[in-house]
Amino acid sequence: MSVFGHPLGVQLLAEIWDCDQDKLNDIKTVQNIMVNAAKKAKAEIREVVFHRFEPQGVSGVVVISESHLTIHTWPELAYAAVDIFTCGEHVDPWIALESITQDLNAEDANVMEISRGMKNLNRLRKAKQQATATL
């Protein structure tokens, strides 16, 4: 894959609202939801690490060969912050995100997609420097 015009990876930053609060506070449930999402997206799982906070909330990461899926929950707000970063062409981060929102019974989500590993900015800077040097 070329880095000129094609990203090395895609990152989704998701604000997931109005989720099932009981699910957000249960470490096993959150872990299963995230692992399931990685599997549905056809990612290769490497490591899984989750932690439950007191009095509430869960944070965790599913490390995949293609990068990672992370979640941080605020059960008291029925909210989860999710970051899905995938590299390559065979894993679809949108499939993982759809799985997570469905499994959390989410009512709303705001998502930002970021292309990672683009060299367009560097090419733009070089062109600007070259143009300035010839003046």
- Annotated active-site residue in 6, 65, 87, 99: 87
87 is catalytic: yes
67 is catalytic: yes
Q: Which conformational region is residue 121 in: left (phi greater than 0), alpha (psi within -120 to 50 degrees), or beta?
A: alpha
- Annotated active-site residue in 72, 90, 99, 115: 72
Q: How is residue 38 written in tokens?
A: 């990685």
* Burial class of 110 by CB neighbour count within 10 A (0 to 12, 13 to 18, 19+): exposed
72 is catalytic: yes
- Annotated active-site residue in 2, 6, 65, 67: 67
Active site residues: 67, 72, 87
